[in-house]
Amino acid sequence: MKNNELLQELYQCFSGKVETYIRSRVETPQDVEDMVSQVFLKVCQNIDSFSEEKAAHSTWIYAITHNVVIDYYRKRGRESPMKLCGELPQLPEQDRNLERILREESLDALANALENLEERERDLVLLHYYKNKSLKEIAVIMGMSYSNTRVIHKKTLGRMRKWLEQD
C-alpha cells in the first residue's frame, strides 16, 4: 500500500478516536481541532520511519496523540486536569496483569470491553480511571456503600481482564 493510501486509511480509521481522546482532556474546541491536525501532521511527517515490527498503527497514533496532549499542557505551564497525560493510575498488586494489558491493548479493545459492562460498572470504571475519583468518592456519587463499590470494582476488573485477554 502506498503511503498516501495508508495515510488516508489511518486518518479515516483513527481521526474520530483521536478527537474523542483529545476532547476528553482539553476544553477548548479550537484547541482540540488544532491538536488533531498536529497529530496527523506528525503521522504524515513520520510515516516513513514507522515500523510495524515495533508497534501497531493504533499504538503509534495513540502515542503521538498522548504526546501532543502532554505538549499542550507543558507549553501552557500547567498540568492536565485529568492527570491522565502521564501514566494510568496505579492498580492494586493483584491487578498488575490488567495494567499491562491496558497499556498494550488498543483503545478499541478497551472500548469494546467497556461496552460489555453494565451501565453501573462502566460508570464506576470511568469515574475511577478517567476522572481520577477514589472508590470512596465514587460510592458517594453513585449512592452506594463503599464496600459494595469495592466489590463491584474488583469483579468488573476481573471481567474486563478476561475480555481483554481473549482479544
For the chain, the domains span: 3-75, 93-166
Task: Mean pLDDT check: name the lowest of 32-41, 50-59, 112-121.
Answer: 50-59
73: how many CB neighbours lie within 10 A of its CB?
16
- For 139, phi and psi rounded to 5 degrees? -60, -45
Q: Cell numbers 513520520 correspond to what residue?
A: 46
Averaged pLDDT for residues 130-135: 83
- Proportion of the chain above pLDDT 90, given as a percent: 18
pTM, to two decimals:
0.48
| Helix (H) or strand (E) run with residue 33 in it | helix 29-46
Evaluated on CA atoms 33, 34, 39, 41, the torsion sign reads positive
Mean local confidence (pLDDT), 2-16: 84
Helix (H, G, I), strand (E, B) or coil at 106: coil
Q: Given a cut of 80, is residue 123 above it in pLDDT? A: yes
Q: Determine the average pLDDT of the residues in 124-144.
A: 87
Structure confidence at residue 52 as a pLDDT band (50, 70, 90): confident
Average pLDDT of span 47-76: 82
pLDDT at 27: 82
Predicted pLDDT of residue 87 = 40
The CATH fold of domain 3-75: Rna Polymerase Sigma Factor; Chain: A (1.10.1740)
* Domain 93-166 CATH (choose: 3.60.15.10, 3.40.50.10070, 1.10.10.10, 2.60.40.10): 1.10.10.10
148 pLDDT exceeds 90?
A: yes
Please tell me the least confidently modeled range out of 6-20, 43-57, 84-98, 109-123.
84-98
Q: How confident is the model at residue 78 (pLDDT cuts 50, 70, 90)?
A: low
